[in-house]
Every structure is written in structure tokens, then in C-alpha cells.
């Protein structure tokens, strides 16, 4: 039984599936991988109108055909589309490409030029109409979040999706504390550094391998588990390969003790605070 955590109005497993750049992979493999991911409990699928210019939403649509009710489906509106009317139009286009009548979560991809008040009004009207179950933001720092909560009110921003991996832990300074205080889920993206995972011979790689071997697990499973060690955290590794998807899902069954968490923490130090949020 996979553990679940609150994300918007739903209980969702902490490890989901990303889809960025999937249009570059073999299409059948990507679809098979997403479906296998659903089979092994990774029901949170993250996509965006930006990915492959809509093509990735079509791939996801094929993958979830006939299985819509199993999926916690997330997409994102590009900031330059995020006027009140533009947010609705973008959402309608995403729904058509995904072959569904609703999203479980809809995110503003990053802060942009249009007034946040208008974007939030568009998101709220989509929610009232049942086109989306909840909405959130992405790449927001603590100040951006404060503004969003100020406009929308408490309890409206379901999540903030932000860069979070072992060598990029900046959100631990201000973003995670703000989100925890305001009941906003933190969805970490690029948990493997977008294909730049610590090598087995590096100091960090050796620390991961040591913890992994004690559990009969893999270093990537240990990394994923570390990245969801707090109840506010979720992660969305992307893979178009069946064996990788099964490995990633296996992290859900791992439990790290305080000594192991401290060892990983020491091998990948947090680093000083900086302005804004890091982006890929």
C-alpha cells in the first residue's frame, strides 16, 4: 500500500511521473512507461502545454486513455498565456490534447508579466466550473508565494512546483518553511538533476551507495526517498523506460532512519540562501 499525502483536494502518493522532453523519446516506449508507472502506484502525472509544444500532452492523453480515473493529472499554463481569458483558453486546449474533461491540478508555470490577480481569477473560474479540481504555481519564491496567498486567500494555492534535487536544496531556506506554514504542497522537479545524477565515484555517490546497499535498494531510490522525507514534499522523476519507472516507484517502499538522512544531508550540503528560486 503506497503512502499518500494531501495535494490540493486529493490524497496522492509522494512519487509521481514527469514528462518533460518525452516528445524526443520513442513514443511507444514513453506511453508504455507512463502506463507501467500507473500500474506501480505513480499516479501523479505532470505535464505542461510547453512540453514539445503540446505534443507531450498528446502522448500523456494516449497513455491515460481508458484509465483517466486512476490518474492525478497536472498541467501548466505558460506565463504569457496567463491572462484571465488566456488561462481558460490554454486550459481548454490542454484538456483537448489530453483527451479529458478535467485536470486535477493546473499550475502557472512561472511568474510572468500578466497581473497575478488576473491569472488567479482565471484559475478560480476554471475551478468553479469543474475544469480543474485545484490550482497552484511553479517556480515561485517565498515573496511570490506571499503575494499569491495575499490575492487568493489561505487554502487556495494547492502547490508550488520547484527545482529540488540533492545538489540543489535552496528551497529548504525559505520556500519549504513558507509552504509548510500555509499548507501548500511542495512538488520537487528534476530530482535526478535532469539526467545529471551524482556519479558512483563522487563523495555523494558513495554516501548514497552505502545507504542503498543496507536496504538492497539503489542510489536513485535513496535519493528519491530523501527528497520526500518531509510530509509536505512530493517528487516527479521523468522516465521513458520501463525498468527505470519500476526502480523509481520502488523508492516508495524505502524507509530511511535519522542516521541515514543525516549521512545524505552531510554528503550534499545545503549551501547558503540566495535570492529567488533556482530554475533549471
Contact residues toward ligand NAP (CB under 6 A) are 18-20, 46, 109, 138-139, 161, 189-195, 220, 236-241, 244, 247-248, 280
Name the grid cell of 63: 497513455
Quote the least distance from Cβ 227 to ligand NAP, whole Å: 10
Q: Which of 51, 106, 164, 189 is catalytic?
A: 51
Largest CA-CA distance found in the chain, in angstroms, rounded: 54
Residue 5 and residue 133: Cα distance in Å, rounded? 16
Residue 51 and residue 43: Cα distance in Å, rounded? 19
Name the grid cell of 43: 499516479
Q: Judged by CB, which is closer to ligand NAP: 258, or 279?
A: 279
Q: Judged by CB, which is closer to ligand NAP: 85, or 148?
A: 148
Quote the least distance from Cβ 204 to ligand NAP, whole Å: 15
Q: Judged by CB, which is closer to ligand NAP: 74, or 149?
A: 74
- Name all contacts of 30-35 with Cβ < 8 Å and 24+ positions apart: 30/59, 30/63, 30/240, 31/59, 31/62, 31/63, 32/242, 33/239, 33/240, 33/241, 33/242, 33/244, 33/245, 34/59, 34/60, 34/63, 34/64, 34/245, 35/63, 35/67
Quote the least distance from Cβ 222 to ligand NAP, whole Å: 12
Quote the least distance from Cβ 92 to ligand NAP, whole Å: 21
Q: Judged by CB, which is closer to ligand NAP: 37, or 122?
A: 37
Quote the least distance from Cβ 252 to ligand NAP, whole Å: 13
189 a catalytic residue? no
Residue 279 and residue 274: Cα distance in Å, rounded? 12
Q: Give the strand pairing for 72-77 and 10-12.
A: unpaired
Q: Give the strand pairing for 233-235 and 44-46.
A: unpaired
> In this structure, how many other beta carbons lie within 10 angstroms of the beta carbon of residue 269?
10
Q: Judged by CB, which is closer to ligand NAP: 107, or 207?
A: 107
* Residues labelled as active-site residues: 51
Amino acid at each position: 500500500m503506497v503512502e499518500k499525502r494531501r495535494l490540493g483536494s486529493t490524497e496522492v502518493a509522494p512519487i509521481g511521473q514527469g514528462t518533460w522532453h518525452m516528445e524526443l523519446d520513442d513514443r511507444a516506449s514513453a506511453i508504455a512507461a507512463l502506463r507501467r508507472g500507473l500500474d506501480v502506484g505513480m499516479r501523479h502525472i505532470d505535464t505542461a502545454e510547453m512540453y514539445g509544444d503540446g505534443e507531450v500532452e498528446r502522448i500523456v492523453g494516449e497513455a491515460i486513455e481508458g484509465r483517466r480515473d486512476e490518474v492525478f493529472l497536472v498541467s501548466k499554463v505558460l506565463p504569457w498565456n496567463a491572462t484571465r481569458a488566456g488561462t481558460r483558453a490554454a486550459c481548454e486546449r490542454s484538456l483537448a490534447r489530453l483527451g479529458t474533461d478535467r485536470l486535477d491540478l493546473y499550475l502557472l508555470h512561472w511568474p510572468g508579466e500578466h497581473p497575478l490577480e488576473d491569472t488567479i481569477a482565471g484559475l478560480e473560474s476554471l475551478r468553479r466550473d469543474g475544469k480543474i479540481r485545484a490550482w497552484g504555481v511553479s517556480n515561485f519564491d517565498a515573496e511570490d508565494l506571499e503575494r499569491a496567498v495575499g490575492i487568493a486567500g489561505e487554502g487556495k494555492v494547492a502547490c508550488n512546483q520547484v527545482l529540488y534535487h540533492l545538489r540543489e536544496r535552496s528551497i529548504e531556506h525559505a520556500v519549504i518553511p513558507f509552504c509548510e506554514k500555509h499548507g501548500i504542497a511542495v512538488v520537487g522537479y528534476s530530482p535526478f538533476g535532469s539526467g545529471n545524477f551524482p556519479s558512483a565515484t563522487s563523495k555523494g555517490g558513495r554516501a548514497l551507495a552505502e545507504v542503498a546497499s543496507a536496504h538492497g535498494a539503489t542510489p536513485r531510490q535513496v535519493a528519491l526517498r530523501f527528497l520526500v522525507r518531509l510530509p509536505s514534499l512530493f517528487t516527479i522523476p521523468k522516465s521513458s523506460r520501463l525498468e527505470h519507472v519500476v526502480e523509481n516507484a520502488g523508492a516508495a517502499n524505502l524507509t530511511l532512519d535519522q542516521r541515514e538522512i543525516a549521512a545524505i544531508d552531510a554528503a550534499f550540503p545545503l549551501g547558503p540562501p540566495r535570492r529567488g528560486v533556482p530554475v533549471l
